[in-house]
């Protein structure tokens, strides 16, 4: 962190330092750090819709969140995030291993997998909204064709499955790109030596490549987890958190409580849930920094 | 690696399957956008439209002010991306190259911005914008998005590896702080600028939650939020027009993605430090 050697903090450089960092610093303070302190403070108070008559309430908001709809919302977030991370990582790693094979044409195919990552998620979520339509949607045509029960966005038991499927489809291309970069970094001589020694493709994968990728896998899992915790678009477009709260995640709870104050929402509860979400994300980010720190050593 | 013919065939077959997995929703969108609504809701109708209904595109285009949505999205994305690149590069450069009292503390403050997801501070930021009377204005949309802590972090990492001698030489020749940055180090960072720009641009273009809570008039709406309004406006069962609208909204970014494919891949690879 200290400046690299031989760069004295001369007068103009000192002034330059403050001027150069000022825009990012001021905007970060005004739109991230200070608002976070507000969230923390307000999560400890209760008041009416317009924040008048605020009264200190200790952990009451947190208790209300956890005993009310917030508890199931946190559980939904956990279910969504675990499902999302598992499916997108397995798919992404599998496709990356395929595309890493040295055969003509495979390098060009990579471009397809970035499409869901870069086009507006609202548009692709609308597509999935029609894919899941009862009877006529493609998924339900296929499921019906092979005699399986339909997956519906209006069904409490299957809505979460649909939301996870969309999330994983939308994100796994990024996992592909991250794994391809990691695979490129593997030491070629080690793999060659193993091949010469007669290790088959499966053995090389199981005993050499996957262990070498462990750190990258952990890092990608962290990125995926942070993405999963922030899922919003598909829930807004596909289910609005329903049916009966079956897909209401922690973030969606914050959105509902915070922006439907007239309809029984409470900014205290929204802020308490936002703090919970912050602490969870912070823990995940600290894990990430620890991994990066270990990699740098 | 030498592979047997059956192994090669298996690899290609699996690749085709995985491309289908990623592409079928988009293919479904295009096919549905040109069907009659009767064909869409009929479970026994063939997947390909019997006659291509080009008028669906016109119907969708007129059902919502897409031209306005695109203009707003372009304005927002260009201004915020330029801001994020410029402020991020300046701060990253200063944190890497300069010594000044308090540098460490200030760096950790900026880094803390990286650890506070925007979604957590949603409510107080909107309250702040309301106090400023910035809700439902361009400045309310743009100003909070002008800086990127991630950008500052990435550019700092980049400039830490830049050779110090170049700047020393320029300084001996009489170049000031700004000249050294602008003429010596900024050009070095061009590849990094390109990768960060494309990723920031895509994120800004697709931003949904922030515009959703800060704007409510169609005059200011961006494509993503506009699509949800469009969804509510076209009768909920006009799936063909719904898909035509989705098609319209993904085309510009698909063109960008095709042109900037390599840069996007490089930029996404930066994402591991996000």
Asked if residue A165 is part of any domain, the answer here is: yes
Q: In this complex, is the C-beta atom of A89 within 8 Å of any C-beta atom belonging to chain B?
A: no
Asked if residue A95 is part of any domain, the answer here is: yes
Indicate whether B131 and B182 sit together in one domain: yes
pLDDT level of residue B271 (50, 70, 90 thresholds): low
Given a contact cutoff of 8 angstroms between Cβ atoms, the answer to whether A284 and B120 are in contact is no
Does the structure show a pLDDT above 70 at A261?
A: no
Q: In this complex, is the C-beta atom of A28 within 8 Å of any C-beta atom belonging to chain B?
A: yes
Q: In this complex, is the C-beta atom of A240 within 8 Å of any C-beta atom belonging to chain B?
A: no
Up-side HSE of residue A290: CA atoms within 13 Å toward CB? Answer: 8
Asked if residue B255 is part of any domain, the answer here is: no
Helix (H, G, I), strand (E, B) or coil at B123: helix
Tell me the helices (H) and strands (E) count for chain B, helix number first: 16, 0
Asked if residue A44 is part of any domain, the answer here is: no
Distance (Å) from the C-alpha of residue B187 to the closest C-alpha of chain A?
Answer: 17
Tell me the helices (H) and strands (E) count for chain A, helix number first: 15, 2
Helix (H, G, I), strand (E, B) or coil at A45: strand
Asked if residue B184 is part of any domain, the answer here is: yes
Size of interface A-B (CB pairs under 8 A): 314
Residues of B in contact with A133 (CB under 8 A): 41, 239
List Cα–Cα distances, B19 to A136, A168, B11, B26, in angstroms.
Answer: 23, 15, 12, 11
Asked if residue A99 is part of any domain, the answer here is: yes
Q: How far apart are CA B211 and CA B145, in angstroms?
A: 11
Determine the pLDDT at residue A4.
Answer: 42
Nearest CA in chain A to B104: A1
CB contact under 8 A, B25 and A127: yes
For residue B131, what is the domain's CATH number? 1.10.3720.10
Q: How far apart are CA B122 and CA B207, in angstroms?
A: 14
Domain of residue B119 covers 64-233
Q: What percent of chain B has pLDDT over 70?
A: 97
Does the structure show a pLDDT above 60 at A7?
A: no
Total domain count, chain B: 2
Q: Which of B58, B80, B100 is the last residue of a domain?
A: B58
For residue A278, what is the domain's CATH number? 1.10.3720.10
Of A25, A91, A216, the CB nearest to B109: A25
CB contact under 8 A, B268 and A174: yes
If you compute the radius of gyration of chain B from its CA atoms, what whole number of angstroms results? Answer: 24
Does the structure show a pLDDT above 80 at B43?
A: no
Indicate whether B46 and B169 sit together in one domain: no
pLDDT level of residue B50 (50, 70, 90 thresholds): confident
CB contact under 8 A, B21 and A106: no
Indicate whether B142 and B212 sit together in one domain: yes
CA A52 to chain centre: 35
Q: How far apart are CA B205 and CA B77, in angstroms?
A: 5
Going by C-beta distance under 8 Å and a sequence separation of 6 or more, which residues neighbour residue A98? A106, B11, B14, B15, B18
Does the structure show a pLDDT above 90 at A141?
A: no
pLDDT level of residue A5 (50, 70, 90 thresholds): very low
Indicate whether B146 and B39 sit together in one domain: no
Q: How far apart are CA B110 and CA A27, in angstroms?
A: 9
Total domain count, chain A: 1
Asked if residue B253 is part of any domain, the answer here is: no
Indicate whether B205 and B95 sit together in one domain: yes
Q: In this complex, is the C-beta atom of A18 within 8 Å of any C-beta atom belonging to chain B?
A: yes
Determine the pLDDT at residue A52.
Answer: 63
pLDDT level of residue B156 (50, 70, 90 thresholds): very high
CB contact under 8 A, B25 and A14: no
Indicate whether B104 and B183 sit together in one domain: yes
Tell me the range of A26-30, B35-39, B216-220, B240-244 where mean pLDDT is highest. Answer: A26-30
Model-level ipTM above the cut of 0.85: yes
Of A91, A119, A281, the CB nearest to B254: A119
Residues of B in contact with A43 (CB under 8 A): none
Indicate whether B20 and B130 sit together in one domain: no
Residue A264, Ramachandran bin (φ over 0: left; ψ between -120 and 50: alpha; else beta): left
Taking all residues of chain B, what is their mean pLDDT, rounded to a whole number? 89
List % helix, strand, coil for chain B (3-state, nearest 5): 75, 0, 25
Residues 32-51 of chain A whose Cβ lies under 8 A from any Cβ of chain B = 32-36, 38-39, 42
pLDDT level of residue A1 (50, 70, 90 thresholds): very low
Mutate to test the interface with A, among B1, B80, B119 (most CBs of A within 10 A): B119
Given a contact cutoff of 8 angstroms between Cβ atoms, the answer to whether B39 and B50 are in contact is yes
Residues of B in contact with A31 (CB under 8 A): 121, 125, 128, 144, 147
Does the structure show a pLDDT above 80 at A54?
A: no
Does the structure show a pLDDT above 90 at A55?
A: no
Distance (Å) from the C-alpha of residue B49 to the closest C-alpha of chain A?
Answer: 14
Indicate whether B71 and B143 sit together in one domain: yes
Mutate to test the interface with A, among B94, B114, B231, B238 (most CBs of A within 10 A): B94
Contacts of A70-74 with CB under 8 Å at 24 or more apart are A70/A250, A70/A253, A70/A269, A70/A272, A70/A273, A70/A276, A72/A245, A72/A248, A73/A245, A73/A248, A73/A249, A73/A250, A73/A252, A73/A253, A73/A273, A74/A250, A74/A276
Across A6-35, average pLDDT: 83
Tokens of B187: 């050009």
Indicate whether B75 and B125 sit together in one domain: yes
Does the structure show a pLDDT above 90 at B82?
A: yes
Distance (Å) from the C-alpha of residue B110 to the closest C-alpha of chain A?
Answer: 6
Given a contact cutoff of 8 angstroms between Cβ atoms, the answer to whether A25 and B106 are in contact is yes
pLDDT tens digits, B6-18: 888 999 999 999 9
Determine the pLDDT at residue A189.
Answer: 79
Distance (Å) from the C-alpha of residue A280 to the closest C-alpha of chain B?
Answer: 11
Determine the pLDDT at residue B1.
Answer: 53
Q: How far apart are CA A290 and CA A177, in angstroms?
A: 23
Residues of B in contact with A94 (CB under 8 A): 18
Residues of A in contact with B103 (CB under 8 A): 1, 3, 17
Q: How far apart are CA B135 and CA A72, in angstroms?
A: 32
Unique residue bearing structure tokens 């390599």: B262
Nearest CA in chain B to A218: B272
Determine the pLDDT at residue A9.
Answer: 52
Asked if residue A22 is part of any domain, the answer here is: no
Of B28, B99, B106, the CB nearest to A3: B99
Given a contact cutoff of 8 angstroms between Cβ atoms, the answer to whether B237 and A99 are in contact is no
The H or E element containing residue B24 is helix B5-33
CB contact under 8 A, B19 and A99: no
Tokens of A168: 């994983």
Does the structure show a pLDDT above 60 at A244?
A: yes
Asked if residue A15 is part of any domain, the answer here is: no
Residues of A in contact with B260 (CB under 8 A): none
Asked if residue A45 is part of any domain, the answer here is: no
Distance (Å) from the C-alpha of residue A157 to the closest C-alpha of chain B?
Answer: 23
Q: What percent of chain A has pLDDT over 90?
A: 44
Indicate whether B69 and B173 sit together in one domain: yes
Determine the pLDDT at residue A11.
Answer: 67
pLDDT tens digits, A106-132: 888 888 999 999 999 999 999 999 899
Domain of residue A161 covers 60-296
Asked if residue B260 is part of any domain, the answer here is: no
pLDDT level of residue A99 (50, 70, 90 thresholds): very high
Residues of A in contact with B197 (CB under 8 A): none
CA nearest neighbour of A213 among A87, A86, A97, A123: A97
Asked if residue A81 is part of any domain, the answer here is: yes
Distance (Å) from the C-alpha of residue B75 to the closest C-alpha of chain A?
Answer: 16
Q: Which of B42, B58, B74 is the last residue of a domain?
A: B58
Residues of A in contact with B242 (CB under 8 A): 126, 129-130
Residues of B in contact with A178 (CB under 8 A): 268-269, 271-272
CA nearest neighbour of B76 among B223, B265, B197, B249: B223
Indicate whether B78 and B180 sit together in one domain: yes
């Amino acid at each position: 962190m200290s400046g690299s050697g031989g760069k004295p903090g001369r007068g103009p450089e000192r002034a330059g330092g403050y001027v150069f960092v000022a825009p990012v610093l001021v905007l970060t303070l005004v739109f991230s750090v200070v608002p976070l302190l507000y969230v923390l403070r307000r999560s400890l108070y209760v008041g009416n819709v317009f924040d008048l008559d605020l009264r200190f309430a200790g952990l009451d908001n947190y208790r209300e969140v956890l005993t009310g709809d917030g508890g199931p919302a946190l559980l939904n977030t956990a279910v969504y995030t675990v499902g999302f991370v598992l499916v997108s990582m397995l798919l992404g790693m599998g496709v990356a291993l395929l595309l890493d094979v040295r055969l003509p044409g495979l390098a060009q195919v990579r471009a397809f997998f970035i499409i869901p990552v870069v086009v507006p998620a609202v548009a692709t979520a609308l597509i999935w909204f029609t894919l899941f339509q009862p009877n006529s949607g493609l998924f339900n045509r296929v499921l019906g064709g092979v005699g399986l029960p339909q997956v519906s966005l209006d069904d409490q038991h299957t809505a979460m499955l649909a939301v996870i499927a969309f999330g994983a489809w939308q994100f796994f291309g990024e996992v592909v790109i991250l794994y391809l970069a990691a695979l490129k970094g593997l030491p070629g001589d080690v793999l060659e030596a193993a091949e010469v020694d007669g290790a088959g493709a499966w053995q090389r994968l199981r005993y050499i490549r996957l262990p070498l990728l462990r750190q990258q896998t952990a890092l990608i899992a962290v990125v995926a987890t942070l993405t999963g915790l922030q899922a919003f678009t598909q829930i807004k477009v596909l289910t609005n958190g329903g049916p009966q709260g079956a897909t209401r995640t922690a973030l969606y709870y914050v959105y509902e409580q915070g922006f439907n104050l007239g309809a029984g929402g409470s900014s205290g509860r929204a802020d308490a849930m936002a703090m919970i979400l912050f602490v969870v994300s912070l823990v995940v980010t600290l894990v990430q920094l620890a991994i990066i720190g270990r990699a740098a050593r | 690696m030498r592979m047997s013919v059956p192994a090669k065939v298996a690899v290609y077959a699996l690749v085709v399957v995985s491309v289908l997995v990623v592409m079928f929703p988009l293919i479904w969108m295009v096919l549905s956008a040109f069907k009659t609504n009767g064909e869409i809701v009929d479970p026994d109708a063939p997947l390909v439209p019997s006659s291509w209904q080009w008028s669906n595109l016109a119907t969708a285009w007129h059902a919502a002010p897409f031209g306005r949505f695109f203009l707003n999205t372009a304005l927002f994305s260009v201004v915020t991306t330029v801001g994020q690149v410029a402020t991020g590069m300046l701060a990253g450069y200063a944190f890497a190259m300069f010594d000044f009292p308090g540098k460490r503390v200030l760096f950790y403050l900026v880094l803390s911005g990286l650890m506070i997801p925007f979604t957590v501070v949603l409510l107080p930021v909107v309250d702040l914008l309301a106090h400023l009377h910035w809700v439902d204005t361009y400045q309310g949309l743009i100003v909070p998005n002008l800086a990127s802590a991630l950008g500052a972090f990435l550019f700092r990492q980049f400039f830490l590896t830049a050779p110090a001698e170049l700047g020393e030489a320029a300084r001996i020749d009489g170049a000031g702080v700004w000249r050294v940055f602008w003429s010596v180090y900024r050009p070095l960072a061009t590849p990094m600028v390109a990768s960060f720009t494309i990723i920031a641009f895509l994120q800004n273009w697709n931003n949904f939650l922030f515009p959703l809570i800060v704007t409510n008039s169609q005059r200011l709406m961006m494509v993503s939020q506009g699509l949800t309004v469009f969804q509510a406006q076209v009768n909920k069962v006009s799936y063909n027009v719904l898909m035509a609208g989705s098609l319209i909204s993904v085309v510009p970014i698909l063109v960008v993605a095709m042109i900037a494919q390599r840069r996007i891949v490089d930029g996404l690879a930066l994402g591991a430090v996000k």
